[in-house]
């Protein structure tokens, strides 16, 4: 059978999918086939990129790595870190191959316009704006600079990462010979949301995933962008994960400790991005892709998310009394804001993100190499900060072309959700079968995409609003993975 407008054959409806819609404690299988594979070539980064926000002394390790690997160092500064202090540190370490840039507050540039998502910005939960962060902007600017300066292999390193050595960086970067992106895991003080920290605290099985905090990127590939929400890195490498091309070197690093429950507003701020990313990756774990993230799917995932949060609250009595009250407050805050997120908002955000992603990839493909870092920065309305303590900044930037905040979902946006064209790059999870030490070539992958895409039609029907996927309400144990669940499986 075929579905009008899709033009491909549908497989029988997957009524059993409802039982699988849950918040997962791990997405490790999305990278498990790539871990620990010996790279065919040895690569070194062209540059280490640090989106810095902490005092300059937190850059010691990045400088050590850049010196050992003999690569450039790009430091994007804001918040607590002052360029004059960074340049003083660089001089003391006798490292001259660094580009220090002070990113002004509210920096904008036409190359960084994401007009589709701008339409929906004011429709997101107010908690999304409670924390001011420019991490996504710093990373997106760095991607543009890499294209302009001819850097192919870069390594993102956050300034709160420790216990990382040059050999592990080189081995991770060397995976770019086979994968567009490859990363490490932050396992010593895990890189998780406040809610996921709470899940671990009650004894739940809570894994950590590849992170943008320690991530190698091949900038000559079709790369994503970092949206301005929590879990922006998961959206950046989503397409690679969907194709089985997200590499993990298996190395683990340490993150500076902080109290995830000290401010319950942190959980509120994270909730929308946490729901969005966890929901999209739950689809990948089922072998499906973003086009299955319909209103009906999000309705069921939000229910699963709320069961997940309630189960954490039910188990909070077992945690250390020192953190119990703050843990509860954080999860309660997440639960409160989760209830304000409508499934239609998640569906629309996904669709608009995909539109901006296509436009970004066309835009960045047209970026040309320039003669110097100064020329590249000038193109972006920025200047290199000097050792004189004068942080040269050009405030004149091109404003984003934002549409009205109340603009309704347009017909072409709806068409985008169902259109199967060469432009739609959110393919089903492919190539995650057995590999003989290397990923499958793109040509082999393409031959399977038509077969895999037949699964979408039945899933789209199954996730439509008003269509149930079973009469039995899943019990909370199905939605919260614990160590006991793993032992029984």
Band of pLDDT at residue 483, cut at 50, 70 and 90: very low
Q: Please name each of the domains of the chain with its CATH number.
A: 31-260+356-406 (3.90.550)
pLDDT computed for residue 28 by the predictor: 57
Nearest to 186 by CA among 105, 254, 238, 249: 254
Residue 467 has pLDDT above 90, yes or no: no
Taking residue 110's Cβ as centre, other Cβ atoms within 10 Å add up to: 13
Is residue 473 scored above 70 in pLDDT?
no
329-342 confidence digits (pLDDT tens): 999 999 999 999 99
Q: How far apart (Å, rounded) are the C-alpha atoms in residues 195 and 266?
A: 10
Go through 282-314 and write b for each residue having 16 or more CB atoms within 10 A of its CB, e for each that does not. bbbbbebbbbbbbbbbbbbbbbbbbbbbebbbe
pLDDT, tens only, 377-396: 999 999 999 865 433 333 33
- Band (228; pLDDT cuts 50, 70, 90): very high
Predicted pLDDT of residue 37: 56
Contact (Cβ atoms closer than 8 angstroms) between residue 427 and residue 456: no
- CB-count burial class (<10 Å; 0-12, 13-18, 19+) for 481: buried
| Model pTM score | 0.78
Identify the residue with better confidence: 62 or 13.
Answer: 62
Mean pLDDT of 18-26: 59
Q: What is the pLDDT of residue 188?
A: 81
What average pLDDT does range 439-445 have in this prediction? 37
């Amino acid at each position: 059978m075929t579905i009008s407008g899709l033009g491909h054959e549908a497989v029988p409806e997957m009524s059993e999918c409802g039982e699988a819609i849950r918040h997962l404690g791990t997405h490790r299988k999305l990278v498990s086939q790539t871990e620990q594979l010996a790279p065919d070539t040895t690569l070194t980064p062209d540059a280490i990129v640090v989106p810095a926000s902490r005092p300059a002394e937190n850059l010691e390790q990045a400088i050590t790595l850049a010196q050992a690997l003999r690569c450039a160092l790009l430091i994007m500064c804001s918040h607590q870190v002052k360029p004059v202090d960074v340049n003083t540190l660089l001089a003391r370490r006798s490292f001259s191959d660094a580009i220090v840039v002070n990113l002004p507050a509210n920096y904008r540039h036409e190359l960084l316009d994401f007009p589709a998502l701008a339409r929906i910005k004011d429709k997101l939960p107010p908690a999304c704006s409670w924390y001011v962060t420019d991490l996504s902007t710093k990373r997106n600017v760095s991607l543009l600079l890499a294209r302009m300066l001819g850097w192919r292999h870069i390594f993102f390193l956050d300034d709160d990462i420790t216990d990382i050595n040059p050999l592990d960086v080189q081995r991770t970067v060397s995976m770019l010979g086979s994968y567009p992106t490859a990363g490490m895991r932050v396992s010593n003080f895990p890189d998780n949301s406040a809610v996921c920290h709470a899940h671990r605290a009650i004894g739940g099985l809570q894994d950590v995933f590849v992170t943008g905090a320690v991530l190698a990127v091949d900038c000559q590939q079709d790369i994503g962008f970092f949206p301005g929400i929590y879990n922006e890195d998961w959206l950046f490498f989503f397409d690679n994960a969907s194709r089985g091309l997200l590499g993990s070197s298996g190395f683990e690093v340490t993150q500076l400790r902080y109290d995830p429950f000290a401010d319950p507003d942190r959980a509120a701020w994270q909730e929308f991005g946490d729901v969005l990313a966890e929901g999209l990756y739950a689809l990948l774990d089922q072998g499906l892709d973003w086009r299955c993230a319909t209103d009906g799917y999000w309705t069921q995932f939000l229910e699963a998310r709320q069961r997940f949060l309630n189960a954490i609250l039910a188990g909070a009595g077992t945690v250390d009394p020192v953190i119990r009250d703050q843990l509860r407050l954080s999860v309660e805050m997440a639960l409160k804001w989760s209830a304000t997120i409508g499934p239609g908002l998640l569906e629309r955000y996904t669709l608009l993100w995909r539109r901006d992603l296509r436009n970004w990839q066309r835009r960045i493909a047209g970026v040309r190499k320039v003669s110097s870092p100064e020329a590249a920065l000038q193109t972006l309305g920025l200047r290199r900060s000097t050792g004189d303590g004068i942080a040269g900044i050009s405030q004149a930037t091109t404003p984003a072309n934002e549409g009205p905040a109340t603009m309704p979902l347009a017909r072409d946006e709806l068409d985008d959700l169902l259109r199967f064209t060469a432009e739609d790059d959110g393919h089903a999870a492919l190539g995650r079968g057995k590999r003989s030490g290397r990923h499958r070539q793109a040509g082999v992958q393409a031959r399977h995409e038509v077969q895999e895409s037949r699964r979408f039609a039945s899933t789209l029907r199954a996730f439509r609003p008003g269509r149930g996927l079973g009469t039995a309400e899943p019990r909370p144990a199905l939605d919260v993975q614990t160590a006991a669940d793993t032992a029984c499986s």
